[in-house]
Amino acid sequence: MLEGLTAGFIFSLTLYPGAVWLVKLGYGASSRGVLAVGFALFLSQSVWVSLSVPGLRMIAAHLDLLREGVHLFAALVLAYMAWKFFRAERVESLQVRKPVVEPLDLFRNTLKQSLAMPMRLPAVMAILLSTGVFVNHEPTWENVPQIMLGGLVGTLAWWGQFTFLSLAFVKRVPVRITLKSLNKIRPFCSGLFVCLAVIVLLLGF
């Protein structure tokens, strides 16, 4: 469960634009709008976690034949994510440029966009591999529910805290501090995904 929890939390970091959007809505939208977006982001991440754990279990069951190739692909995915964070633009303002719509529309739009984003499934599977989830545990169906539960708890922890912060503290904290905090996530994630890429290669080779 611990590996799944770690993977779910790290996977949520990959949706960094969603976190920025959630914080911006804390300034410009109603509380219902913030809750709607936070729930949509959690739900979309949960879909990919729920698909990835059984999928990776089926791959891991035959990993002796695919071990090097699977881990090399995972390392490339993680390195790509690190590059995307490195190239990401700084957050310069918390003003919402798009008109804020009704909470239900916010939920639908956020859910569609986050589900349609590329690299969701390869990213979460690569992150799960880097935690050694099926190195520490046999790739059996009995282990899948606990790993999946951990992933969902990790995802809930990330989006739950961001939703809470956007509701309770965004308007109370000076903008420059909020911007500084958001912009620290980018280089941290870039370095983190480089480390994960190295780890998954070591586990595979």
Domains of the chain by residue range:
2-204
pLDDT in tens, 24-62: 888 876 788 899 999 999 999 999 998 888 888 777 776
pLDDT of residue 98: 66
Which pTM value belongs to this model? 0.88
Confidence grade of residue 189 (pLDDT, cut at 50, 70, 90): very high
Average pLDDT score over the chain: 86
pLDDT in tens, 163-179: 998 888 888 888 889 89
Specify the 3-state DSSP secondary structure of 17. helix
Average pLDDT over residues 58-69: 71
pLDDT of residue 119: 80
**Could you tell me if 147 and 133 are in contact, meaning their C-beta atoms sit under 8 angstroms apart?**
yes
Which residue shows structure tokens 């390869």?
Answer: 122
Query: 189 or 142: whose pLDDT is higher?
Result: 189
Please classify residue 157 by burial: count the beta carbons closer than 10 Å to its beta carbon, then call 0-12 exposed, 13-18 middle and 19+ buried: middle
Tally Cβ neighbours within 10 Å of residue 167.
16
Confidence grade of residue 64 (pLDDT, cut at 50, 70, 90): low
- Per the structure block, which two tokens stand in for 157? 């922890």
Specify the 3-state DSSP secondary structure of 88. coil
**Could you tell me if 31 and 159 are in contact, meaning their C-beta atoms sit under 8 angstroms apart?**
no
pLDDT in tens, 85-131: 998 889 888 887 666 778 899 899 989 988 887 788 889 889 988 88
